[in-house]
């Protein structure tokens, strides 16, 4: 499921964290009546009307115009979040970064306090962002406050949604409008194809992502350090590879959520996830010395959530003691550990020495090409009939799945629709069986296949 980034923005103490917790369905953000409780961004995944969301809670934005004091020296006006005064500039800077990465913004204001000058200044910041903005007038817990919320129409940001994040009132209508603000995306992408191929380099911290980018470019474009976490932003580099235009995206290392430190690193992970979102192919780097870890599996799942294609790169292969069988044994180990990635190419490289690095881009481009492969309707239905003859679907509650017809309406990734008697009868194991039969008959290296099951009455 493709993830859309939704950022909550507003001045301090308007209830952003309460709304964040309401949307994600759990108490992740600290909620307190004292302004400025949230200083760093917090993010979590949610879903609304079938759309995957990455929801970002930000610290309150405060504008600090300088005024002249009695001694003629400038001094800042009193801040709303007094306990966070030393961090006001950092909080605003981080909020502005989150705004730039957002697909949509929820601007939270306080219906009980009414429109303030600070709200107007935040509205000015959001207008300049050129992002879709949905205005939520929070703390509208009764009819009087819901009526009072109408004054926020003067901000000129469109419909005002009176809500109560504490009680959940009006939040559903708000989220409906947020999802509607995203660019229209069809269920399948058809033949959509861009001229430039996006290739992201992802993995745990310190597995050699920046070293690989430098070697691919033939220059020291990125800072390389043995200290984990040197790269904090997702950085694009354009490359012409034998006439094919490529965007290489180096990303920050993705740690387990419990290991993510608040502040810059937390935002770096958000940027890495965003980079995967706009990639066609993700190069998943694995440290050959450490081997495949649970976190490597987590990163792979992030890639699959975005329906991106994958090439697994075993880096630092030069540092592994090996014999004639080591590579085959390692490849088997990787496929057994990443059981859901048995269809992806595995390359053994050394970003430090450059060994086999020249095979990375051609492999990624071959994987990208597979995203646009089509199977004719006649051939697809013959394949499905043969698969049913070899292995009939298991029964469920005395009923058996029947597949009447199959087609491939879209690519990028290849998307197959099966017209069946009841989609609820499709067992995960049988769906995987059908996918494996497709892969045996046609080569889709490194590319996920999207299988959709739709109800259809049996033809007469």
- Is pLDDT above 60 for 25? yes
Position 398 confidence tier, pLDDT thresholds 50, 70, 90: confident
- Is pLDDT above 80 for 381? yes
Q: Give the whole-number percent of the chain exceeding pLDDT 70.
A: 75
pLDDT value of residue 168: 92
Q: Which fold has domain 377-455?
A: GMP Synthetase; Chain A, domain 3 (3.30.300)
- Is pLDDT above 70 for 152? yes
CA distances (Å), origin 57, targets 19, 261, 270: 9, 15, 12
- Is pLDDT above 50 for 166? yes
> CA end-to-end span of the chain, whole Å?
36
> By mean pLDDT, which of 122-131, 171-180, 185-194, 354-363 is the weakest?
185-194
pLDDT value of residue 133: 92
What are the boundaries of each domain within the chain? 3-180, 196-370, 377-455
State the number of CA atoms in the 13 A half-sphere of 247 facing the CB. Answer: 15
pLDDT value of residue 95: 60
pLDDT value of residue 219: 54
- Is pLDDT above 90 for 380? yes
Model confidence, pTM: 0.62
- Give the distance from CA 454 to its chain's centroid: 27
Q: Is residue 251 a contact partner of residue 200, using CB atoms and an 8 Å limit?
A: yes
Q: What is the dihedral of CA 209, 211, 214, 219, to 10 degrees?
A: 160
Position 218 confidence tier, pLDDT thresholds 50, 70, 90: confident
- Alpha carbon distance 13, 455 (integer Å): 48
Position 404 confidence tier, pLDDT thresholds 50, 70, 90: very high
- Is pLDDT above 90 for 436? yes
pLDDT value of residue 74: 43
The phi, psi pair for 318, rounded to 5°, reads -65, -20
Is the pLDDT higher at 109 or at 92?
A: 109
- The class (CATH top level) of 3-180 is alpha beta
Position 233 confidence tier, pLDDT thresholds 50, 70, 90: very low
pLDDT value of residue 188: 40
Cβ neighbours of residue 409 closer than 8 Å, sequence gap 6 or more: 188, 190, 415, 417
Average pLDDT for 191-220: 80
| The two domains 3-180 and 196-370 share their CATH topology (first three levels equal) | yes
| Coil, helix or strand at residue 56 | strand
Q: What is the dihedral of CA 239, 241, 247, 249, to 10 degrees?
A: -90
Q: What is the pLDDT of residues 35-78, one digit of tens each?
A: 333 334 466 778 888 788 888 887 667 655 444 444 444 434 44
- Is pLDDT above 80 for 30? no
pLDDT averaged over the chain? 80
pLDDT value of residue 189: 43
| Coil, helix or strand at residue 405 | strand
| Coil, helix or strand at residue 406 | strand
Q: Is residue 250 a contact partner of residue 213, using CB atoms and an 8 Å limit?
A: yes
> By mean pLDDT, which of 96-110, 214-228, 333-347, 393-407 is the weakest?
214-228
Radius of gyration of the chain (CA): 25
Q: Which of 216, 290, 226, 295 shows the shortest CA–CA distance to 250? A: 216
pLDDT value of residue 285: 94
pLDDT value of residue 165: 92
| Coil, helix or strand at residue 159 | coil
Q: Which fold has domain 196-370?
A: Rossmann fold (3.40.50)
Position 297 confidence tier, pLDDT thresholds 50, 70, 90: confident
- Is pLDDT above 70 for 253? no
């Amino acid at each position: 499921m493709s993830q859309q980034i939704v950022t909550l923005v507003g001045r301090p103490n308007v209830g952003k964290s309460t709304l964040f917790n309401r949307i994600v369905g759990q108490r992740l953000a600290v909620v307190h009546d004292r302004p400025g409780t949230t200083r760093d961004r917090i993010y979590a995944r949610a879903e609304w009307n079938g759309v995957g969301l990455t929801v970002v809670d930000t610290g309150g934005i405060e504008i600090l115009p300088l005024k002249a004091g009695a001694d003629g020296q400038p001094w800042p006006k009193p801040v709303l979040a007094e306990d966070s005064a030393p961090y006001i500039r950092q909080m605003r800077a981080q909020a502005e970064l989150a705004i730039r990465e957002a697909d949509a913004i929820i601007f939270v204001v306080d219906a009980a306090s009414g429109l303030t000058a600070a709200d107007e200044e935040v509205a000015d910041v959001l207008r300049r962002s050129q992002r879709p903005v949905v205005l939520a007038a929070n703390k509208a817990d009764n009819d009087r406050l819901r009526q009072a919320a109408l004054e926020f129409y003067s901000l000129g940001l469109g419909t005002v949604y009176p809500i109560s994040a504490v009680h959940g009132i009006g939040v559903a209508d708000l989220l409906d409008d947020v999802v509607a603000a995203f660019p229209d995306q069809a269920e399948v992408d058809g033949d959509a194809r861009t001229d430039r191929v996006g290739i992201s380099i992802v993995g745990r911290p310190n597995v050699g992502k920046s070293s690989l980018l430098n070697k691919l470019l033939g220059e020291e474009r990125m800072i390389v350090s043995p200290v984990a976490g040197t790269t904090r932003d997702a950085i694009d580099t354009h490359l012409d590879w034998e006439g094919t235009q490529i965007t290489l995206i180096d990303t920050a290392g993705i740690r387990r959520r419990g290991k993510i430190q608040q502040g810059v690193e937390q935002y770096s992970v958000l940027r890495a996830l965003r980079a995967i979102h706009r990639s066609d192919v993700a190069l998943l780097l694995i440290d050959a010395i450490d081997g495949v870890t649970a976190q490597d599996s987590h990163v792979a799942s992030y890639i699959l959530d975005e329906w991106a294609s994958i090439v697994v790169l075993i880096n630092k292969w030069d540092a592994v003691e090996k014999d004639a069988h080591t590579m085959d044994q390692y490849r088997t180990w990787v496929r057994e550990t990443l059981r859901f990635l048995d269809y992806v190419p595995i390359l053994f490289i050394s970003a430090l020495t450059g060994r086999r690095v020249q095979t990375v881009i051609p492999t990624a481009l071959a994987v990208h090409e597979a995203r646009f492969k089509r199977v004719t309707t006649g051939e697809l239905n013959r394949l499905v009939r043969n698969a049913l003859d070899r292995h009939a679907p298991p029964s469920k509650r005395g009923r058996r799945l029947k597949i009447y017809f199959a087609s491939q309406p879209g690519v990028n990734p290849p998307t197959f629709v099966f017209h069946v008697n009841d989609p609820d009868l499709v067992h995960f194991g049988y769906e995987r069986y059908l996918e494996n039969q497709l892969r045996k008959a046609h080569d889709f290296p490194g590319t996920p296949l999207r299988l959709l099951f739709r109800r259809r009455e049996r033809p007469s």
